Amino acid sequence: MAGPLPGPARFIDPNPFGALSMPTPNRRQALITATALLAAPALRAQTWPSRPIRLVVPFPPGGLIDQMARLMAPRLAAELGQAVVIDNKPGAGGNLGAAEAARAAADGYTLLMASPPLTISPALYPQLPYKPEQIVPIGLVGRVPNVLLVNPKSGIASVAELLARAKAAPGKMNYASNGNGTSLHLSAELLKAATGTQITHIPYKGAAAAVTALIAGEVDTMFENLPSVLGQVRAGAVRALAVTTRTRSKALPDVPTLAEAGVADFDVSAWYGLAAPAGVPAEVAARLERALEAVARDAEIAAAMERSGASVGFTAVRATAEFMARDGANWKRVVETAKIRLE
């Protein structure tokens, strides 16, 4: 007669206390290994960086994002103890530079100057040369309003007058931009959607060419980053009707916001900071975040940025990720409303 069925097999650990119950030589080696593993992140944080850091700027030299990168780089270098080398990789609305950073080793030696294309491009392009999740934010240091401009000879002195003229002749007025899919292009499309106006888009190869066309009277209006056009506004070459942020710019305190001018809930800005390839070690990312905060709190840098029309304020990594998610969702709605699609 068969005996009772055996119960579940039990595994009895011959060494239930792990390294502490091992023979002395084995225990010593296990403890050394465990200590080394625990110390590795701290050691890596102490030794990084041991060589210069490359900061990829996804736009040509001289533009807003390049100017901000060159302003930030010396202070970053002082904080990190290594040179920060600017590497301009322009093209495809900032996508080529982003792809360059995304493909780099996630070791903290390649960084990306973060800016609006990171949140705009996923909505615009059916295929990007990188995956958005390949890039992670480190933090932001400032925002820059766009400014709505006209030629002083146009006779338009307010947003209300601009919109009235546009509604009186749908499709007859036009606006310039620095290219398809840029924040300046989409700012105008957002204004059109918010006000029910029809204004024809004329893209130029860069903001400088677009501003030149506005001054020459070739186009009726445009948006531009405030720092890039502040000199022309103050000289009277162009007229600023409104800024796109929720609050007025300290650089142009007499110019209203679009919300004040009657376009409710309009809040658009260029922003800039640092990002890195996904997978950068947590302790390296934390050190970069602290260095970026020091940049934002530097009185001389803040004063220089504010003189140019930027607002300065540090945003830590988690809040930056949340901001970028909201920004991307906003631009997606604009792109879908305006039916913009780029290849």
Q: What pLDDT score does 141 carry?
A: 95
Phi, psi of 273 (to 5 degrees): 180, -150
Integer Cα distance of 71 and 74 in angstroms: 7
Domain limits for position 193: 145-243
More confident residue, 82 or 2: 82
Residues 68 and 139 in one domain: yes
Task: Quickly state the pLDDT bin for 210 (edges 50, 70, 90).
Answer: very high
Q: Is the pLDDT assigned to residue 8 strictly greater than 50?
A: no
pLDDT tens profile 109-137 = 999 999 999 999 999 888 899 999 999 99
Integer Cα distance of 37 and 40 in angstroms: 5
Domain containing 238 — which CATH number? 3.40.190.10
Query: Which of the residue ranges 25-34, 261-270, 301-310 would you say has the lowest mean pLDDT?
Result: 25-34
Among 45-49, 192-196, 202-206, the range of highest mean pLDDT: 192-196
Q: Is the pLDDT assigned to residue 93 strictly greater than 90?
A: no
- Asked, for residue 293, whether it belongs to a domain, the answer is yes
Q: Is 88 helix (H, G, I), strand (E, B) or coil?
A: strand
Q: What pLDDT score does 2 carry?
A: 41
- Asked, for residue 253, whether it belongs to a domain, the answer is no
Q: Is the pLDDT assigned to residue 161 strictly greater than 90?
A: yes
Query: Token pair of 145, please?
Result: 């309003």
- Asked, for residue 67, whether it belongs to a domain, the answer is yes
Integer Cα distance of 334 and 120 in angstroms: 10
Q: Is the pLDDT assigned to residue 229 strictly greater than 50?
A: yes
- Asked, for residue 1, whether it belongs to a domain, the answer is no
Q: What pLDDT score does 24 carry?
A: 56
Q: What pLDDT score does 45 carry?
A: 52
Average pLDDT over residues 151-177: 96
Q: Is the pLDDT assigned to residue 140 strictly greater than 60?
A: yes
Q: What pLDDT score does 183 carry?
A: 87
For the CA atoms of 312, 264, 240, 154, what is the dihedral angle to 10 degrees?
160
Q: What pLDDT score does 33 carry?
A: 56
Task: Quickly state the pLDDT bin for 338 (edges 50, 70, 90).
Answer: confident
Task: Quickly state the pLDDT bin for 64 (edges 50, 70, 90).
Answer: confident
pLDDT above 70 covers a percentage of the chain that reads 86
Q: What pLDDT score does 173 carry?
A: 97
Residues 168 and 139 in one domain: no
* Positions of E strands within 151-289: 174-177, 200-203, 221-225, 239-243, 269-277
Residue 335, number of CB atoms within 10 A of its CB: 20
* Positions of E strands within the chain: 53-57, 84-88, 110-114, 135-150, 174-177, 200-203, 221-225, 239-243, 269-277, 311-315
Residues 84 and 162 in one domain: no
Residues 138 and 274 in one domain: yes
Q: What pLDDT score does 37 carry?
A: 52
CA-nearest of 337, 321, 340, 330 to 133 is 321
Judge whether 149 and 229 are in contact, CB under 8 Å.
Answer: yes
Residue 72, number of CB atoms within 10 A of its CB: 26
Integer Cα distance of 269 and 162 in angstroms: 21
Query: Token pair of 222, please?
Result: 């445009």
- pTM comes to 0.78
Q: Is the pLDDT assigned to residue 248 strictly greater than 80?
A: yes
Residues 239 and 170 in one domain: yes
User: What is the maximal distance between C-alpha atoms in the chain?
Assistant: 110
Residues 164 and 310 in one domain: no
Q: Is the pLDDT assigned to residue 40 strictly greater than 70?
A: no
- HEC string of 301-343? HHHHHHHCCCEEEEECHHHHHHHHHHHHHHHHHHHHHHCCCCC
**DSSP annotation string for 253-281:** TTSPBTTTTT-TT---EEEEEEEEETT--
Residues 151 and 187 in one domain: yes
Average pLDDT over residues 318-341: 89
Q: Is the pLDDT assigned to residue 312 strictly greater than 90?
A: no
**6: which DSSP letter?**
P
Q: Is the pLDDT assigned to residue 18 strictly greater than 90?
A: no
Judge whether 306 and 139 are in contact, CB under 8 Å.
Answer: no
Integer Cα distance of 49 and 172 in angstroms: 56
pLDDT tens profile 253-301 = 999 999 999 999 898 888 999 999 999 999 999 999 999 999 999 999 9
- Asked, for residue 5, whether it belongs to a domain, the answer is no
Phi, psi of 58 (to 5 degrees): -80, 25
Judge whether 101 and 277 are in contact, CB under 8 Å.
Answer: yes
Residues 123 and 151 in one domain: no
- Asked, for residue 16, whether it belongs to a domain, the answer is no
- Asked, for residue 34, whether it belongs to a domain, the answer is no
Q: What pLDDT score does 11 carry?
A: 32
Residues 283 and 333 in one domain: yes
Tell me how many domains the chain contains.
Answer: 2
Integer Cα distance of 57 and 94 in angstroms: 8
Integer Cα distance of 216 and 226 in angstroms: 19
Instruction: State yes or no: cis peptide before 16, omega within 30 of 0.
Output: no
- Asked, for residue 248, whether it belongs to a domain, the answer is no
CA-nearest of 137, 110, 103, 132 to 120 is 132
Residues 137 and 166 in one domain: no
Residues 209 and 165 in one domain: yes
- 189-219 exposure pattern, b = at least 16 Cβ within 10 A, e = fewer: bbbbebbebebebebbebbeebbebbbeeeb
